[in-house]
């Protein structure tokens, strides 16, 4: 570990973060520092080493040959050091620190109250850093402790804990909308209705998914408005703009209170469960263990 002499861990963490993200801005966000401070840290290290580690332009960042060799050499011992530090932290009785969790927005809304808020109330010295995004990320490569996705999207090498009640889609519209329009009885009927379309993170329009007696059916709907967030689509549905397609959990209360009317109920069977997933860890922190224990408790209660 001679390489550590006269250097701080943040310098090496900074190099690995930039190499992983290929972006000073995103690496700075991961490290909780400003882009300027990160750039100064790398510049200082490069001057000490007498060699440039990164090729930088206004549009891209890449490792130099020397930088790649440096990353290959410091990566394993640096991980050993962090593991050793984590092992010491794991001995503490009171969970502290930060847990970084990646999820997509709908899943986050489903587990916010029963899991996340319950956890932060129980363990006030732990901070939850929740990042929601539509794309499926590599939680290890992107520096997250755990992720929340559909079971079908969980990588096979991860440990998964099912969460919450069974999940379904729901096609709904306001009572005023159905005062002027017949209710669809089969998915193809939607082509004659005003529908609230949703755009996916990759720019594509979401196709509404239905299934009955094992036979799937997808509909490319049309309508007066296209949105990219379920909470906005819900407002449009409540305002009588048209029929919307949601996760049942997002509109369950609206249906119960009569603000929205559900249609095509027999075409929306249960989906794969929502899961908390994470990689195997040798020395998990007290905060990590406490979060997993709470998630398992919720899963056992159903």
For residue 118 the two structure tokens come to: 């319950």
Instruction: Please tell me whether residue 117 adopts helix, strand or coil conformation.
Output: helix
Helical axes 35-49 vs 24-31, angle rounded to 10° = 100
Distance between CA atoms of 173 and 182, rounded to whole angstroms? 11
Task: Return the bridge partners of 126, or none.
Answer: 97
pLDDT of 5 reads: 40
Distance between CA atoms of 168 and 302, rounded to whole angstroms? 16
pTM of the model: 0.62
Distance between CA atoms of 102 and 133, rounded to whole angstroms? 8
pLDDT band at 69 (very low <50, low <70, confident <90, very high): very high
Domains, the chain, ordered by start: 2-89 (1.10.10.10), 97-165+273-301 (3.40.190.10), 169-267 (3.40.190.290)
Distance between CA atoms of 55 and 67, rounded to whole angstroms? 9
Inform me whether the pLDDT recorded for 153 exceeds 90. Answer: no
Distance between CA atoms of 262 and 126, rounded to whole angstroms? 40
Distance between CA atoms of 229 and 241, rounded to whole angstroms? 16
Residue 127 is classified by DSSP as E
Inform me whether the pLDDT recorded for 1 exceeds 60. Answer: no
pLDDT tens for residues 43-64? 999 998 999 999 988 788 999 9
Residue 279 is classified by DSSP as -
pLDDT of 118 reads: 93
């Amino acid at each position: 570990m001679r390489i550590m002499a006269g250097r701080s861990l943040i310098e090496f963490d900074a190099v690995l973060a930039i190499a992983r993200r290929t972006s000073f801005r995103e690496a700075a966000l991961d490290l909780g520092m400003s882009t300027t401070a990160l750039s100064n840290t790398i510049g200082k290290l490069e001057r000490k080493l007498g060699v440039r580690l990164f090729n930088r332009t206004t549009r891209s960042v890449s490792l130099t040959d020397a930088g790649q060799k440096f990353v290959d050499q410091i990566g394993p011992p640096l991980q050993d050091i962090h593991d050793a530090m984590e092992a010491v932290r794991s001995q503490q009785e009171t969970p502290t620190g930060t847990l970084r969790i990646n999820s997509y927005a709908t899943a986050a809304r489903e587990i916010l109250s029963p899991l996340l808020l319950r956890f932060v109330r129980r363990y006030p010295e732990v901070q939850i850093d929740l990042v929601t995004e539509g794309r499926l990320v590599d939680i290890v490569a992107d520096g997250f402790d755990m992720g929340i996705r559909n079971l079908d999207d969980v990588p096979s090498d991860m440990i998964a804990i099912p969460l919450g009640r069974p999940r379904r889609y729901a096609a709904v519209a306001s009572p005023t909308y159905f005062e002027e329009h017949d209710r669809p009885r089969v998915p193809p009927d939607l082509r004659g209705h005003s529908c609230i379309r949703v755009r996916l993170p990759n720019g594509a329009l979401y196709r509404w998914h239905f299934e009955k007696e094992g036979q799937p059916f997808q509909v490319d709907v049309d309508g007066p408005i296209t949105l990219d967030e379920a909470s906005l689509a819900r407002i449009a549905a409540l305002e009588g703009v048209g029929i919307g397609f949601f996760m049942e959990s997002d509109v369950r209360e609206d249906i119960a209170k009569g603000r929205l009317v559900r249609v095509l109920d027999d075409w929306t069977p249960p989906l794969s469960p929502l899961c908390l997933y994470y990689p195997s860890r040798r020395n998990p922190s007290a905060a990590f263990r406490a979060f997993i224990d709470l998630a398992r408790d919720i899963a056992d209660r159903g």
